[in-house]
Chains A and B, each alone.
Chain A
Amino acid sequence: MFRIYPRMLTFLAVAAMVLMAVGQYAIWFYAPEEMTMGLVQKIFYFHLPLAWWCFVAFFGVFAASVMVLWTGKEKWDVLAGVLAEAGVLFSGLALITGSIWGRAAWNTWWTWDPRLSTTLVMWFVYSGYLVLRAADAGGAKGARMRAVLGIVAFVDVPLVFLSARLWRSIHPAVLASRSGGLEPEMWTTVWINLLAWGALFAALVLARYHGAGFARRVEAALVRIQEKTLQ
């Protein structure tokens, strides 16, 4: 049975709204403008949280898929689905914002790079995963099939990253360097926006999870009505 958490959803939605407002203020009025790139650099405050949370979402799909195989409970299958939806949305937005930034910084919309390539391949894999879910591929064995795909997809990610890294890389490693070349105000803005997008991500996932739960309750009720009608 699906549990519904309306209070938690309200709290997350309000938190996301407040944090987003604070985050936007920090981006446009608090964080200093970067010397070389100017205003375009501010895309970074959207791009980084989107990329981080999409990785969290895909790891979540993996973990939920393992739980499907382990426990066989339907709720984990539903959770994997909603996490994949959020992950595809966030990774798509991360790719678009990254591409706009790349055009300004590297004078190209796209280039072979480990992070870019990994994110694009992940986007393809999980978009395919969502298409298969929507098509109800697997029939009676569907949940197990989807769980296997969710695990295989995540196992592939490090290999895609390695392959693209061997090819070549020009993506800036902000967090790998000691200060990342960021001013303290910039770091504060990054963390606020990470939290804001995290709250929005959690609210979206919970809202979709509730939606899926209600859909299943309605389906179960319809089956019961049909059975009574036939009797």
Chain B
Amino acid sequence: MTAPWLAIAAKDLRLAFAGGQGPVQAVLLGLLLVFIFSLSAAPGEHFSPQQAMAIFWLCSSFAVVLIFSLLFRFEEENDTATALLLSPLPVQGLWLGKTLAGLALLALCQVFFFPAALVFLGLDPGGSLGGLALMALGVDLGLCILGGLIGAMGHGQGAKDALLTIIVFPLQVPLLLGGIRIGVGLMQGVPMADLGEWFGLVLAFDAVFSGAALFLFPHVFRGE
């Protein structure tokens, strides 16, 4: 039998791709951002690894907002929030399912962002693809943990959910900084062991916000 939170994640992914759309909006916005930033460099000029990494994470950050807005919109459009709350599934399981679905969609977006950054920003991963994938997993996890919590707050808010972005971006700062520093370090050939402090910071963010989300999600996503 599938775990309930896995069932939620699978349901959300099926719905996301049901219309053949998936995270198209997030992918397009990210690609557009990469392209616009690439215009700021003169022809033949390359971005520094730090700039390229920062733009990559900026795209991911915007994608998270769109992805979680989409995931919680499903419950609103289909009016299924109450049904989910009445089901025997622990409400934290719902958060976990949404976080997992968001993580899968964000990883899919980054499959497009990364080559775009290679082409338009001159990002050079060298031989550190494995390290970069590990870094992306750690940072993405944190972004989605926070996205799952804040996305639930936007549920049922109509146009006001866009306002939440003004608080989401500053909250993501430690993660984005970690992602940029680890990415730059790996591309410059710094051994993984020397980036341990930054990995520690990213994991600390993941852990602290997981704890906060487990405690706070039931207060956010509940019936009246």
Q: Which residues of A contact B160 (CB under 8 A)?
A: 135, 137
Q: Which residues of A contact B146 (CB under 8 A)?
A: 152
Q: Which residues of B contact A166 (CB under 8 A)?
A: 181, 197-198, 201
Which of B153, B167, B205, B216 contacts A159, CB < 8 Å?
A: B205
Interface size on B, residues (CB 8 A): 32
Is B220 touching A148 in the complex (CB atoms < 8 A)? yes
Write out, one digit per residue, whether chain B residues 130-164 have a CB within 8 A of any chain A CB (1) or not (0). Answer: 00000000000000001001100100110010011
Which residue numbers of B lie inside 8 Å of A, CB to CB? 146, 149-150, 153, 156-157, 160, 163-164, 166-167, 169-171, 173-174, 177-178, 181, 197-198, 201, 204-205, 208-209, 212, 216, 219-220, 222, 224
Q: Which residues of A contact B177 (CB under 8 A)?
A: 163-164, 167
A132 to B153, CA, bound (A): 12
B149: nearest chain-A partner, CB-CB: A152
A132: nearest chain-B partner, CB-CB: B163
A155 to B170, CA, bound (A): 12
Which of A69, A132, A139, A140 contacts B167, CB < 8 Å?
A: A132
In this assembly, does A228 line the interface, its C-beta being within 8 Å of a C-beta of chain B? no
A139 to B157, CA, bound (A): 8
Say how far A130's CB is from chain B's closest CB, in angstroms: 10
Q: Which residues of A contact B174 (CB under 8 A)?
A: 156, 159-160, 162-163
Is A128 touching B167 in the complex (CB atoms < 8 A)? yes
Known: A121-B173, A152-B171. A159 touches B166 (CB 8 A): no
Is B201 touching A163 in the complex (CB atoms < 8 A)? yes
| A-B pairs with lowest CB-CB distance, top 6 | A128-B167, A128-B166, A124-B170, A159-B174, A163-B174, A125-B170
Known: A135-B163, A163-B177. A151 touches B216 (CB 8 A): yes
Is B204 touching A152 in the complex (CB atoms < 8 A)? no
Say how far B85's CB is from chain A's closest CB, in angstroms: 13
Q: Which residues of B contact A152 (CB under 8 A)?
A: 146, 149-150, 171, 209, 212, 216
Known: A131-B163, A140-B224, A162-B204. A121 touches B219 (CB 8 A): no
B169: nearest chain-A partner, CB-CB: A124
Excluding A151-B212, A152-B209, 13 further A-B contacts by CB distance (< 8 Å) are: A132-B163, A139-B157, A148-B219, A148-B220, A149-B153, A151-B216, A152-B216, A162-B174, A163-B173, A164-B177, A166-B181, A167-B177, A167-B181
Q: Which residues of A contact B198 (CB under 8 A)?
A: 166
Known: A147-B219, A163-B201, A167-B181. A153 touches B171 (CB 8 A): yes
Which residue numbers of A lie inside 8 Å of B, CB to CB? 69, 121, 124-125, 127-129, 131-132, 135, 137-141, 144-145, 147-149, 151-153, 155-156, 159-160, 162-164, 166-167
Interface centre among B164, B166, B170, B212 (most CB of A within 10 A): B170
Q: Which residues of A contact B157 (CB under 8 A)?
A: 137-139
Say how far B63's CB is from chain A's closest CB, in angstroms: 20
Q: Which residues of A contact B166 (CB under 8 A)?
A: 124, 127-128, 131-132
A138 to B154, CA, bound (A): 8
Q: Which residues of B contact A151 (CB under 8 A)?
A: 212, 216
A31 to B181, CA, bound (A): 43
Say how far A123's CB is from chain B's closest CB, in angstroms: 9
Is B220 touching A159 in the complex (CB atoms < 8 A)? no
Q: Which residues of B contact A121 (CB under 8 A)?
A: 170, 173
Q: Which residues of B contact A145 (CB under 8 A)?
A: 153, 220
Is A132 touching B219 in the complex (CB atoms < 8 A)? no
A131 to B170, CA, bound (A): 14
Is B219 touching A125 in the complex (CB atoms < 8 A)? no
